[in-house]
Amino acid sequence: MPEQEFPPRPSAGSYRPDRDDEDPPPRADLPSVRPARSGRPAGGGNPAGPGRPVGGRADSADHGGFAGSRLASGPRQDEPVPQWDRWDGPEADGAEHVPPARPRAPGGRALRAAARRRRRWLVLAGGLVVVAGAVLTVVLLAGGGPGPAPVTPGALITTFQPGELRQVPDACHVVPAGTVQQYLPGKAKVASPLPVNGAAESACNWTLDNPPVYRLMEVNMLAYAPNGLASGDGSATFAAIDAYRLALQDTQAPPRNSPAPRATVRVLSGFGNQAFSAVQVFRVGGAVTDVATVMVRYHNVVVTVTLNGLEHSNRGSYGPVSQPQLTAAAMAFAQAAEASLH
pLDDT above 70 for 132 = no
Contact 184/208 with Cβ under 8 angstroms?
yes
Residue 2 lies in a domain: no
Q: Is the pLDDT score of 102 beyond 60? A: no
Query: Domain for residue 301, yes or no?
Result: yes
CATH of the domain at 182: 3.40.1000
Which CA distances in Å does 273 have to 157, 267, 295, 303, 324? 20, 12, 11, 11, 24
- Write phi, then psi, for 300 (nearest 5 degrees): -100, 15
- Give the model's pLDDT for residue 64: 42
Report DSSP state, residue 34: -
**Mean pLDDT calculated for residue range 329-337:** 97
What pLDDT sits at residue 13? 46
Domain count of the chain?
2
Residue range of the domain that includes 327:
171-339
Give residue 313's pLDDT band: very low, low, confident or very high (50, 70, 90). confident
Of 48, 67, 92, which residue sits at a domain end?
92
Residue 57 inside a domain? The answer is yes
Q: Which residue has the higher pLDDT, 257 or 33?
A: 257
Amino acid symbol at 47 = P
In a domain, 138, yes or no: no
**Residue 235 maps to a domain:** yes
Q: What would you report as the CA-atom Rg of the chain, rounded to the nearest whole angstrom?
A: 61
**DSSP 8-state symbol, 81:** P
What is the rounded average pLDDT for all residues in the chain? 74
Last residue in a domain, options 61, 92, 123: 92
The arithmetic mean of pLDDT across residues 9-21, rounded, is 48
* Burial class of residue 213 (count of CB atoms within 10 Å of its CB; 0-12, 13-18, 19+): middle
In single-letter form, the type of residue at position 93 comes to D
Structure confidence at residue 259 as a pLDDT band (50, 70, 90): confident
pLDDT of residue 272: 95
Pure H helices in 158-252? 177-183, 236-252
Model confidence pLDDT, tens digit, residues 148-168: 444 555 578 999 999 999 999
219 and 328 together in one domain: yes
* Residue 83 confidence (pLDDT) above 90: no
Residue 67 has pLDDT above 60, yes or no: no
Structure confidence by residue, pLDDT tens digits, 183-231: 999 889 999 887 788 899 999 999 999 999 999 999 999 999 999 999 9
Q: What is the DSSP string of 135-184?
A: HHHHHHHHHTSSSPPP--TTSPP-SPPTT--S----GGGSS-HHHHHHHS
**Could you read off the pLDDT of 197-209 as tens digits, one per residue?**
889 999 999 999 9
